[in-house]
Amino acid sequence: MNGGSNTTEFRFAMLLLLASVSSTLADTTDVKGKLAAEKVSIEVLEAKHLAEDKARLEVLEAKYEEKFKKNAPRFEEDTTWDSIFDRTMSLKYALAINYPYPTREEKNAEDEKIKIEYKKRFGVPISDFELSIMRVDYKTSSGYNAPYGGSTNFSADRTATGAILKYNQASGRGTILTVGQGRGWLDYNLNMNEWLDFIRILYKCRINEWENSYPKNFNTLADMIAGPSPSWHFKVYSLDKIIFTSNGYGLKHEHPPNWKAFKKAINDMEAKIKKTGTKADTSGGKHGQD
């Protein structure tokens, strides 16, 4: 699910569609008035939920700062459901595995070491884009109502010695899973060379040049009815902001350039976790994906 805004737009689009069918049976002005009231009620409810999620995030920030004696990382975009959810999960995981995110000063010191290791390994300087990557996040969803509906969630967080990979599967309706089991994450530690290999592959796939969405013109009523939720969702984070995001909506079979190489890199990382990953419990959150 791509945040509350898409859900609101989809529901409102469906209501508009029903209104057009019903216009021969009811007064059009009356129907439009009811639709407007319905949209307002949805927006009020989502605003309430967003405020509740922000309050929960503030509690987590306080716990993080008390435990690690440093400020919790904050992104520039902390106003949407997606960004609040991402930060909530990041803080929960940091607390669960007892690993705080680096400060700006700590990251700068790590960067100097990574520059040396990268040049030694590949014979060329590391790009600014690769060096800025502190986290990648990749989610897929087949939809709640699909026969084997559900989602997978993969992320990799850079550490001083490499990265921590996280993987989770959340079931759709009636699906039985063998990893993650809904409330837990499997994790795996990459060494520095493995992390450098991974971000180099991503850079060679030219992910920073991808479009924000595929298909590019995902804005029609027909598209919204056919697929309101993205089939994949990819984000790249620096220390304090989201620096790249791209979504695929499963329509018209459009994919970014170098998609096969990108998917292989993600699949290889997920395979490492499934084979030897350990369970990290981050239970207690909202929406059943933690």
For residues 86-114, average pLDDT: 85
Please report the pLDDT score of residue 2 as a whole number: 41
Is 170 part of a structural domain of the chain?
yes
For residue 279, the cross-strand partners are 186
Please report the pLDDT score of residue 14 as a whole number: 54
Nearest one of 1, 37, 31 to 16, comparing CA atoms: 31
Please report the pLDDT score of residue 108 as a whole number: 93
Q: Of the given ranges (64-78, 190-204, 235-249), which has the lowest mean pLDDT?
A: 64-78
Tens of pLDDT along 226-282?
554 557 889 898 887 788 888 887 655 678 889 999 999 999 998 888 777 666 544
Is 69 part of a structural domain of the chain?
yes
For residues 164-174, average pLDDT: 68
Tell me which of 54 and 15 has the higher pLDDT: 54
Query: Rounded distance, CA 30 to CA 41, Å?
Result: 17
For residues 46-50, average pLDDT: 78
What is the token pair recorded at 215?
């298909």
Is 267 part of a structural domain of the chain?
yes
| Confidence class for position 286, pLDDT limits 50, 70, 90 | very low
> Rounded mean pLDDT of the chain?
74
Q: Find out whether 239 and 159 touch, Cβ atoms under 8 Å.
A: no
What backbone torsions phi and psi does residue 98 show, to the nearest 5 degrees?
A: 60, 45
The set of residues, in sequence order, having a beta carbon less than 8 Å from that of 101 and lying 6+ positions away, is: 73, 90, 94, 134, 157, 239
| Confidence class for position 39, pLDDT limits 50, 70, 90 | low
Distances (CA, A) of 133 to 127, 150, 167, 238: 10, 28, 19, 5
Is 286 part of a structural domain of the chain?
no
Range of the domain at 195: 3-281
Nearest one of 199, 287, 290, 207 to 247, comparing CA atoms: 207
Domain count along the chain: 1
Is 289 part of a structural domain of the chain?
no
Q: Is 215 exposed, middle or buried (0-12, 13-18, 19+ CB in 10 A)?
A: middle
Is 39 part of a structural domain of the chain?
yes
Q: Find out whether 142 and 149 touch, Cβ atoms under 8 Å.
A: yes
Is 287 part of a structural domain of the chain?
no
Amino acid identity at 235 = K
Is 288 part of a structural domain of the chain?
no
Is the pLDDT at 174 greater than 50, yes or no? no
pTM above 0.85, yes or no: no
Q: Find out whether 127 and 135 touch, Cβ atoms under 8 Å.
A: no
Please report the pLDDT score of residue 3 as a whole number: 43
Number of residues written out for the chain: 290
Q: Find out whether 128 and 207 touch, Cβ atoms under 8 Å.
A: no
| Confidence class for position 154, pLDDT limits 50, 70, 90 | confident
